[in-house]
Amino acid sequence: MTFDSLIQTALEFVREHQAWAPFIVFVLAMLESIVGLSLAVPSTPIFVGVGALIGASNIAFWPIFAGVALGGFIGDWISYWLGYRFKEPVLNWKAVRDRPQIIERTKGIVERWGMAAVFVCRFISPIRSFVPFVAGMFQMPFWLFQLANASSAVVWAYVLLAPGAALLRHYGLA
């Protein structure tokens, strides 16, 4: 199955199972935000497509927005916790071990920018899930991390979903 067909299949599933859409995007956002798994679950293009589906149909925006934001928030929280609690074992995961340069670069970013790194890097692949992990590894204060995590999750979900939803409705293409 190609990447494009995977995206198409996911969008078809969301279209056909609209009641499950908030849960589906929650799971995808959470998995995409967990260190190591983010490289295997590239759901950002799916979220952009779901935004277009929202604009082209009667799917409610806010439940899906909440699913993406909450999934991203919880996924980053899990990555932070993994870094804080299981630094060494997680560093030995194949997906993490095969990319040591990501950890080193991410460490430098987190040390230099702190909370701003957590916020801004949510929008940058492939380091999206490594920043919370590294923040946990190097014990960024929990509440500072969570403040940046929560605010960036809300903005991230909106940025991914709103353009497709708003443009299609605004221009009468829905």
What is 109-144 written as a DSSP string?
HHHHHTHHHHHHHTTSTTTTTHHHHHHHHTT--HHH
Are the C-beta atoms of 87 and 116 separated by less than 8 Å? no
Count of domains forming the chain: 1
C-alpha 74/C-alpha 23 separation (Å) is 13
* The pLDDT of residue 174: 45
- Blockwise average pLDDT, block size 10, the chain, 174 residues: 68 79 91 82 79 78 94 96 89 79 87 95 84 93 97 95 70 48
pTM for this model (two decimals): 0.85
Residue numbers of the domain that contains 17? 3-170
